[in-house]
A and B are shown apart, each in its own frame.
Chain A
């Protein structure tokens, strides 16, 4: 629902974010993804824009989520040493999608319920993931199937919608309740027609990373709350540096900050109108 009668058409508003939403929807043979029951609603004692940054920044992955990376490693997930000039086990890009939207676009290494098996999912789930992969290839062709299954992406739809298609798909939105506090609502999303086995893998994989009891999100929250406390010094320290990749030509990495700057530039544009 939009109460602004002068609002642009949704399709125009979404700009290049549409392609990334389509990549999520292509997981479903019928083209329908559904919100799965069970809602995660929790507060973070930080300004809402910090969660925007956090949701599609990959620079913090190594330092904030080392316990999660160790968990993957200890569970038998293969982790390549990063290529020269990169920080993470696989290549990833950061993209400005227009109108303040942005995304990461990464070669997957972490396992995906659609459809890249890792030992955490258990041997019993292997045939089901093979079946999902075969269906993707038959429906979408080899190249598009790989795009859907073998990349993970954290998308920000400006200003406060996150669609993270990583260890599982989560939709997350958040509302400021004070300058230094937000209320987060998050759901899991999956293909409407997916089998009971696939659904169980999807939900289990979700909980390895996401949410207030996951192995990663609580550490994000701790970090954002620490940052918020630090921001109390804004009179003495007026700048938050976000310059990674600024002097670089061509593709920006997921650990650069082009996509974060795209969000802030749009925010600044609207706030100074």
Chain B
């Protein structure tokens, strides 16, 4: 019993991703949480295993929704020293493509510039893989994976903000 393709235009997806990026760059994390479905996941694979299953491979981040909420709680706490004061980030999102419509899968390229205290700027470059869903007419994020191009994190250091 196949479900119908999700009717959506690339422009609608782009608007949605830009809105998400704006919320994350502004650290409006509660509003960002509202973009996610209750079963959403957020993953950053290890740099040497960009295509892998977190149940069998060590990731940098492999959050389910409970962990995502805990991550946001942590990031809003001034005792999260790595992000106190919060990094300033600027996300450039391009090459947005709908790669599958049932389920709705979207890929996009990103360059995230991160400034933290008096450090040099750090550039996180890679691609996003989104699993999106329609929920009452609105798009929602059922999964997002940020896959870094760098061979290792090296001078990027940590991924303590939401990539």
Q: Which residues of A contact B (CB under 8 A)?
A: 36-45, 64, 66-68, 70-71, 74-75, 183, 187-188, 196, 199-200, 203-204, 206-208, 211-213, 215, 217-219, 221-223
**Smallest beta-carbon distance A42→chain B, Å:** 4
Instruction: A182 to B60: give the CA distance in the assembly, Å.
Output: 19
Interface residue B54 (Cβ < 8 Å from any Cβ of A): yes
Instruction: A70 to B81: give the CA distance in the assembly, Å.
Output: 14
Q: Knowing A67-B74, A67-B80 are in contact, say whether A38-B49 is a contact too (CB < 8 A).
A: yes
Q: Knowing A40-B58, A67-B77, A199-B55 are in contact, say whether A212-B158 is a contact too (CB < 8 A).
A: yes
Interface residue B106 (Cβ < 8 Å from any Cβ of A): no
- The 0/1 profile, CB within 8 Å of A marked 1, for residues 119-130 of chain B is 100000000000
Instruction: A196 to B60: give the CA distance in the assembly, Å.
Output: 19
Q: A203, B81: Cβ atoms under 8 Å?
A: no
The segment from B21-29, B91-99, B147-155 found at the interface with A is B147-155
Query: Residue of A at shortest CB range from B43?
Result: A213
**Smallest beta-carbon distance B59→chain A, Å:** 6
**Smallest beta-carbon distance A73→chain B, Å:** 11
**Smallest beta-carbon distance A253→chain B, Å:** 23
Interface residue B37 (Cβ < 8 Å from any Cβ of A): no
Q: B60, A40: Cβ atoms under 8 Å?
A: yes
Q: Which residues of A contact B73 (CB under 8 A)?
A: 67, 70-71, 74
Q: A71, B74: Cβ atoms under 8 Å?
A: yes
Q: Which residues of B contact A218 (CB under 8 A)?
A: 80-83, 158-160
Q: B62, A204: Cβ atoms under 8 Å?
A: yes
Q: Which residues of B contact A (CB under 8 A)?
A: 44-49, 52, 54-63, 66-67, 70-71, 73-74, 77, 79-83, 119, 152-160
Query: Residue of A at shortest CB range from B82?
Result: A218
Q: Tell which of B45, B56, B71, B159 touches A199, judged by Cβ atoms closer than 8 Å.
A: B56
Q: Which residues of B contact A211 (CB under 8 A)?
A: 58, 60
**Smallest beta-carbon distance A198→chain B, Å:** 10
Q: Which residues of A contact B153 (CB under 8 A)?
A: 40-43, 212
Q: Tell which of B55, B67, B81 touches A219, judged by Cβ atoms closer than 8 Å.
A: B81
Q: B154, A203: Cβ atoms under 8 Å?
A: no
Instruction: A17 to B159: give the CA distance in the assembly, Å.
Output: 33
Q: Which residues of A contact B44 (CB under 8 A)?
A: 213
Query: Residue of A at shortest CB range from B75?
Result: A67
Q: B59, A42: Cβ atoms under 8 Å?
A: no
Q: Knowing A70-B77, A74-B70, A215-B71 are in contact, say whether A43-B61 is a contact too (CB < 8 A).
A: no
10 closest A-B pairs by beta carbon, nearest first, are A38-B58, A218-B82, A41-B152, A213-B61, A218-B160, A38-B46, A200-B55, A42-B153, A213-B60, A222-B81
Q: A203, B55: Cβ atoms under 8 Å?
A: yes
Instruction: A207 to B49: give the CA distance in the assembly, Å.
Output: 16
Q: Which residues of A contact B81 (CB under 8 A)?
A: 64, 218-219, 222-223
Q: Which residues of B contact A37 (CB under 8 A)?
A: 49, 52, 56-58
